[in-house]
Chains A and B, each alone.
Chain A
Amino acid sequence: MEVCTFEKVGIRGTNIVVLGVEKKSVAKLQDERTVRKICALDDHVCMAFAGLTADARVVINRARVECQSHKLTVEDPVTVEYITRFIATLKQKYTQSNGRRPFGISALIVGFDDDGIPRLYQTDPSGTYHAWKANAIGRSAKTVREFLEKNYTEDAIASDSEAIKLAIKALLEVVQSGGKNIELAIIRRNQPLKMFSAKEVELYVTEIEKEKEEAEKKKSKKSV
């Protein structure tokens, strides 16, 4: 399901989970706020999807209702794995019914469980789901995944800012016009979802570019 979709990256850090998405260019007269890419399913879980927007809307609504229903019934918030399994089961049902077509979306679901452990899951239209340390979905997911495989190290995710920078660097591999087209959301342990503003993203991008320049200077000094 990687046709015509923009990049989404999810990273599971030690104390933080990061979701980065490539912003789609919006038509002039379109209200940007209605173009949602990162959606909160509950205070401690959020998801980004790639694929058919309308299908995603239906799945997200069902998932949100399930989160509250679970809280009312069991008096505990959902675990990330529970809600992922719910979404995956829903998707699978639609692959095995007559007169219906599968949901055309892949999703990255991130959050913290009550025990304080960060989680990242990916689901696809077939209804399978897997846990990941870091993953990407979208048109150039392969390129981004290769970058993550090379650069996801224990050091890279040790601190919150390093994990955020890794997500931004991964997106910059494939996003056309740099930091302006990146949207970022993070969840820290025991804290609600935080969406980064464009300025905050730009600050990180500038820092990344500075680090790159310094690394290149060091390289050229060494060779001399």
Chain B
Amino acid sequence: MAATFFGEVVKAPCRAGTEDDEEEEEEEEEEGRRETPEDREVRQQLARKREVRLLRRQTKTSLEVSLLEKYPCSKFIIAIGNNAVAFLSSFVMNSGVWEEVGCAKLWNEWCRTTDTTHLSSSEAFCVFYHLKSNPSVFLCQCSCYVAEDQQYQWLEKVFGSCPRKNMQITILTCRHVTDYKTSESTGSLPSPFLKALKTQNFKDSACCPLLEQPNIVHDLPAAVLSYCQVWKIPAVLYLCYTDVMKLDLITVEAFKPILSTRTLKGLVKNIPQSTEILKKLMTTNEIQSNIYT
């Protein structure tokens, strides 16, 4: 028994071991923990619903092996989030012929993926492409939220359980600038700005400053980068801190320094045309909001 500051008496937890009182409590807890068949059924249904499935393009049947086990890959560029997806759509996908090889279908409380790749902020999709002229170059456009319990499945279905090490991964994503921890005044931050985080085996230099401590990466980009670090695959994540999370021209243009990196240099041809395509994309997706002037 212990007295608190306010004078009431509370039962302090006993560090000596079990007391007589606690045995009864434990029995009750166990009964509650014992799974009924209904519980098991519900749990299995939920697991099935939350399964991540990788489907082939034409037939929409599930791939038997992981994507990168089926197709050899030298370069893999992953865009996660609508601004990163818009950047790749305008600058990379318009500079070559890309063929869809498959898509990921998943469901969670935040989103359900659709089959279309129409860049609307309300629809979520995860589609994989490869370059027709060089099929070992892969691209992933992922605008859906992949929940924590689904990230491992996504990685397994895409990379497989024993990935090749002779490929280079580039991940592009955005984060809100309020998540950026710095000793500088936040008012002076040149938002949007780019930061990079790379694995030990990535020997090239990043085209922007590295992400400083104590900032961390979250969600699917973190899962992919961790996976690459564990499997010693060279990978780099370009993280754009922005103050506008919806589809925004200035945020997308903040990714432009990446066009000069070794990975993307050969893939991007006509930058002025890409800028025009990006502007058109913005106007078609402009939400008619009257809140702001």
Interface set of A (CB-CB < 8 Å, partner B): 2-6, 24-25, 27, 30, 35, 37, 49-54, 56, 139-140, 176
Total A-B Cβ pairs within 8 A:
38
Contact A24 B293 (CB under 8 A): yes
Residues in B neighbouring A35, C-beta threshold 8 A: 290, 293
Decide if A5 touches B250 in the complex (CB within 8 Å). Answer: no
* Residue contacts A-B, CB under 8 angstroms, 8 given: A4-B291, A6-B293, A24-B293, A35-B293, A49-B293, A53-B293, A139-B250, A176-B283
Q: Is the interface of B mostly helix, strand, loop or mixed?
A: loop
Please tell me if the beta carbons of B292 and A53 are within 8 angstroms of each other in the complex. yes
Chain B residues with CB under 8 Å of A50's CB are: 293
Chain B residue nearest to A4 in the complex (CB): B292
List, in ascending order, chain B residues with CB within 8 A of A51's CB. 292-293
Is the beta-carbon distance between B250 and A140 smaller than 8 angstroms? yes
- Quote the shortest CB–CB distance from B221 to chain A (angstroms): 23
Cβ-neighbour of B243 out of A2, A54, A140 (below 8 A):
A2
CB neighbours of A54 from chain B (8 A): 291
B289 at the interface (CB under 8 A from A): yes
Contact B286 A52 (CB under 8 A): no
Residue of B nearest to A56 (CB): B293
Q: Is the interface of A mostly helix, strand, loop or mixed?
A: loop
Q: How many angstroms from the CA of A34 to the CA of B82 in the assembled complex?
A: 32
- Chain A residue nearest to B290 (CB atoms) is A53
Asked if B279 contacts A5 (CB within 8 A), the reply is no
Contacts of B185 in A (CB 8 A): none
The residue from A2, A25, A30 contacting B286, defined by CB atoms under 8 A apart: A25
Q: Is B133 among interface residues, defined by CB-CB distance under 8 A? A: no
Known: A51-B293, A56-B293. A4 touches B244 (CB 8 A): yes
Known: A6-B293, A25-B288, A53-B293. 4 other contacts (CB 8 A): A3-B244, A25-B286, A50-B293, A176-B279
Instruction: Report B137 CB to chain A, min CB distance, Å.
Output: 32
Looking at the assembled complex, report how far the CB atom of B246 sits from the nearest CB atom of chain A, in whole angstroms.
8
What distance in Å separates the Cβ of A185 from its nearest Cβ neighbour in chain B? 15
Q: Which 9 residue pairs spanning A and B have beta carbons closest together?
A: A27-B288, A4-B292, A53-B293, A3-B243, A5-B292, A3-B244, A37-B293, A52-B291, A4-B244
> For residues 222 through 260 of chain B, which have their beta carbon under 8 Å from a beta carbon of chain A?
243-244, 246, 250
Q: Of A4, A30, A37, A52, which is in contact with the most chain B CB atoms at under 10 Å from its CB?
A: A4
Which of B177-191 touch A at CB < 8 Å?
Answer: none
Roughly how many angstroms separate A30 CA and B290 CA in the complex, as a whole number? 11
Q: What's the minimum C-beta distance from A161 to chain B, rounded to whole angstroms? A: 28
Q: Give the distance in Å from the alpha carbon of A52 to the alpha carbon of B289 in the complex.
A: 11
What residues on B are CB-neighbors of A4 within 8 Å?
244, 246, 289, 291-292
* A residues near B286, Cβ cutoff 8 Å: 25
* A2: chain B residues within 8 A (beta carbon): 243
Contacts A2-B243, A25-B286, A139-B250; is A52 near B292 (CB within 8 Å)? Answer: yes
A5 contacts B243, C-beta separation under 8 Å? no
Contacts of B291 on A, CB cut-off 8 Å? 4, 52-54
B261-293 CB contacts (< 8 Å) to partner A: 279, 283, 286, 288-293
- Complex formed: what's the CA distance from A6 to B291 in Å? 12
Q: Would you give the shortest CB distance from B227 to chain A, in whole angstroms?
A: 34
Q: With the chains together, A50 CA to B291 CA distance in Å?
A: 11
Nearest A residue to B292, CB-CB: A4
